[in-house]
Structure 1
Amino acid sequence: MQDFRCAKCQKLLARYRNCQMLEVKCPRCGQINKLNSVYLTDEAKEITCNKSLAVK
């Protein structure tokens, strides 16, 4: 599992594995945070593809 943190305040937003796309608004600071596997390497895509996450 990998942590998905807010780019602005570093609050933990989710933990994910196998995720192609993820968008979460931070409840602390309001920043919209996006993850898109298009920007990841092939190795990272194997680790992060398919929606399996736990949002707090």
Structure 2
Amino acid sequence: MEFRCSQCNRLLAKVEGLGKVEIKCPRCKAMNVFTEELYIKVETKKEELNEAES
């Protein structure tokens, strides 16, 4: 999974498996918090959009 800054979209990290990840963007200094729950919601929404396009 890739984590990108919510402010400037810079790639912050690539990880496998997570609970909660906090990353400060070195470019814009924004603190980004990613949780497994948020990832599941995003992936579910992507799947729904892909099914709707089919």
Question: Alignment length, in residue pairs?
Answer: 41
What is the TM-score when the length of structure 2 is the normalising length? 0.66
Percentage of matched positions with identical amino acids: 34
Q: Which runs of 4+ in 1 moved over 4 A?
A: none
CA RMSD of aligned residues (A): 1.5
- State which structure, 1 or 2, has the greater radius of gyration over its C-alpha atoms: 2
* Larger proportion of strand: 1
* Larger proportion of helix: 2
Query: Quick one: higher RCO (CA 8 Å, sep 6+), 1 or 2?
Result: 1
